[in-house]
Amino acid sequence: MRESIRLLGIFMVLQGVSGAIDHLAVQPFMGAFLNLFNRLVVNRLDFLAGYELFANLLLAALGAVVVVAARHPGLS
């Protein structure tokens, strides 16, 4: 269970960083897979218009929190 939560956190970090890179420049690799957050969430929510970079960086930060939380011994 702990490893699956950790992998989810790593995936969130990768998607957030990838989306931030794609927002600033062109995504060089795996854009179709790593930009799911941009295509499925950010583009469909009107209140995120103009804040795409912040949304992606927030996703990366939340992913890092999930990775750190997965190391907590109380999580089984």
Residue 66: inside a domain: yes
Report the C-alpha gap between 58 and 73 in whole angstroms: 25
How confident is the model at residue 75, as a pLDDT?
A: 59
Residue 75: inside a domain: no
Report the C-alpha gap between 15 and 72 in whole angstroms: 23
- Position 28 confidence tier, pLDDT thresholds 50, 70, 90: low
The number of distinct structural domains making up the chain is 1
Report the C-alpha gap between 34 and 15 in whole angstroms: 5
Rg of the Cα atoms in the chain: 13
Residue 57: inside a domain: yes
Residue 11: inside a domain: yes
Query: Where in the sequence is the domain holding 43, given as residue range(s)?
Result: 2-70
- Position 3 confidence tier, pLDDT thresholds 50, 70, 90: confident
Whether the predicted pLDDT of 9 surpasses 70: yes
Angle CA 8–24–41, to nearest 5: 45
Residue 44: inside a domain: yes
More confident residue, 18 or 32: 18
44-65 per-position pLDDT tens digit: 888 988 898 999 999 999 999 9
Cβ neighbourhood burial of 12 (10 Å; 0-12, 13-18, 19+): buried
